[in-house]
């Protein structure tokens, strides 16, 4: 599902980026361009990042 329409970034891409070490909104903006256009997706992008981080931590535990 698209999180960022401006840059066609999906939740799956964000999950993959977080798994590869992009662990905050700034890193996701740099890596994928998400939330660097109109900005309306920033809050939801952060939520997806938080979910991905929680998933990553649960695998590490």
Cβ neighbours of residue 5 under 8 Å, at least 6 residues apart? 41
Q: Which of residues 1-40 bind ligand FES (CB under 6 A)?
A: 4-6, 34-40
By CB under 6 A, how many residues form the interface with ligand FES? 11
One-character DSSP codes across 3-50: EETTTTEEHHHHHHHHHTT--SHHHHHHHH-TTSSS-TTHHHHHHHHH
Residue of the chain from 22, 41, 48, 49 that contacts ligand FES (CB under 6 A): 41
Tell me whether residue 5 or residue 54 sits nearer to ligand FES (CB atom): 5
Residues that bind ligand FES (CB under 6 A): 4-6, 34-41
């Amino acid at each position: 599902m698209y999180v960022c329409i401006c840059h066609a970034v999906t939740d799956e891409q964000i999950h993959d980026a977080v798994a590869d070490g992009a662990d905050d909104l700034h890193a996701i903006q740099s890596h994928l361009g998400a939330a660097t256009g109109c900005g309306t997706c920033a809050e939801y992008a952060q939520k997806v990042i938080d979910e991905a981080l929680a998933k990553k931590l649960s695998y590490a535990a």
